[in-house]
C-alpha cells in the first residue's frame, strides 16, 4: 500500500491536517486521522501556510488566499473556484451554487466531497437548504463542519 507523505502535518482543533505543495502551489490539504505523525514544515512557503492555519484556528483571523492547484476534473475545478468566492461567515446552499453554475445540486455535493484542499476551498460553507448537509462522505464528520462554521460566526447549525 502506498504511503502518502505530506510536506507538513499539523495539529488543529478539528484533527490533524496534511499539507502537500508543489513549487509555490498548494495541491492538497487533507484531514488526517489522529494517529498520524506530525511533520514540521521545512520550506518557508509551507511554514507560512502552517502559520496562517494556526492563526486561523486560534483567532478569528480569516484565511488568506494561497495559490491552489487542485487535481480534478474540469467540472470539479469550476465548482471549487466558485466556492472560494463565498465570503467567510456566510454559507450558500448546494442549490444556489448549482443554479449559478447551471448544474445540479448533487453534482455540487460530489465536487465538495472530493475537495482535495479543505478549508482553503471552503466546502464547509456549502450547506443543505434544510440542515448542515454532509461532510467528506461521513455523517460523523459533520461536527468538523459545524465547528468551522461556528468558528467563522455561523451559529445556525
Partner DNA sequence: GATACAGGCTTGT
Partner DNA sequence: ACAAGCCTGTATC
Binding site for DNA (CB under 7 A): 72-73, 75-76, 93-95, 103-115, 123, 126, 128-130, 133-137
Q: SS in 3 state form for 80-104?
A: HHHHCCCCCCCCEEHHHHHHHCCCC
Of 28 and 46, nearer to DNA (C-beta) is 28
- The residues, ordered by sequence, that sit 6+ positions from 78 with a Cβ below 8 Å of its Cβ are 101
Of 10 and 118, nearer to DNA (C-beta) is 118
Question: Residue 123 catalytic?
Answer: yes
Of 41 and 133, nearer to DNA (C-beta) is 133
Q: Give the burial string for 62-97 (b: 16+ CB within 10 Å, else e).
A: ebeebebbbeeeeebbebbebbeebebeebbbbeeb
State how far the Cα of 141 lies from the Cα of 135, in Å rounded to an integer. Answer: 6
Minimum distance between the CB of residue 86 and DNA, rounded to whole angstroms? Answer: 13
Minimum distance between the CB of residue 142 and DNA, rounded to whole angstroms? Answer: 8
Minimum distance between the CB of residue 147 and DNA, rounded to whole angstroms? Answer: 14
Of 30 and 39, nearer to DNA (C-beta) is 30
Minimum distance between the CB of residue 22 and DNA, rounded to whole angstroms? Answer: 20
Catalytic residues: 123
Amino acid at each position: 500500500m502506498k504511503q502518502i507523505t505530506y510536506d507538513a502535518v499539523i495539529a488543529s482543533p478539528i484533527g490533524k491536517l496534511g499539507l502537500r505543495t508543489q513549487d509555490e502551489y498548494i495541491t492538497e490539504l487533507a484531514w488526517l486521522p489522529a494517529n498520524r505523525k506530525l511533520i514540521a514544515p521545512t520550506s518557508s512557503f509551507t511554514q507560512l501556510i502552517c502559520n496562517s492555519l494556526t492563526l486561523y484556528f486560534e483567532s478569528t483571523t480569516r484565511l488568506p488566499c494561497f495559490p491552489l492547484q487542485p487535481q480534478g476534473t474540469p467540472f470539479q475545478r469550476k465548482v471549487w473556484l466558485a466556492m472560494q468566492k463565498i465570503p467567510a461567515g456566510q454559507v450558500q446552499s448546494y442549490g444556489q451554487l448549482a443554479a449559478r453554475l447551471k448544474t445540479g445540486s448533487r453534482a455540487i455535493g460530489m465536487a465538495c466531497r472530493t475537495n482535495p484542499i479543505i478549508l482553503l476551498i471552503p466546502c464547509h460553507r456549502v450547506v443543505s437548504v434544510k440542515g448542515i448537509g454532509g461532510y467528506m462522505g461521513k455523517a460523523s464528520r459533520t461536527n468538523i463542519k459545524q465547528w468551522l462554521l461556528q468558528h467563522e460566526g455561523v451559529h445556525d447549525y
